[in-house]
Amino acid sequence: MNRLNGEKALAFVRERHAFVDGDFQRVRNQQTFLKAVMAKMAAEGGLKNRDTVKKLVAKVLPHVTVNPGLTVLTLERLAFSLRNTAPGKGVFFTLPTGGFGTSFDGQSIILQDPAATAAVSAALASGTLGKYVAANKLQNGN
């Protein structure tokens, strides 16, 4: 078990250069961090109290970028909806990718797979994401 203060936690979720698979490991680290935060919140009952959830969203929101259509109220409802999710039961995965490429200015980039992304989007919209995850054998970090 590792306990990270703010500075060390930030270093953990940002690091990518130390890893062979760079951004992919960074994403796995970010997912690990989020799982730990969710487990701690669940263990302390923090997601069962609407006021605590509102304070959490207000504290986190200035530090993240979200779709402009994602309102504070929607985020609060989403966080509160997780109140009965047992720690460790959440599944994290990355969107399918289309391989690697090079940007117009010479940087290495990960290419999008539009068809696969559309399939994830459709599963999410239809409430069948769990079936999509199972059918594609996605595990945490994949």
Give me the tens of pLDDT residue by residue for the chain, a chain 142 residues long: 788 888 898 899 888 889 888 888 888 899 888 888 888 887 888 888 889 889 888 888 888 888 888 888 988 888 888 888 777 777 888 888 998 899 999 988 889 999 999 999 999 999 999 899 999 888 654 5
Residue 105 has a pLDDT of 95
What tokens were used for 86?
């047992």
Cα separations in angstroms, 12 against 33, 56, 57, 86, 91 = 8, 21, 22, 24, 20
- How high is the pLDDT of residue 139? 65
Count of CB atoms within 10 A of residue 116's CB? Answer: 14
Structure tokens at 75: 């985020």
Which pLDDT value is given to residue 38? 81
Q: Which of 75, 59, 78 is nearest to 67 (CA)?
A: 75
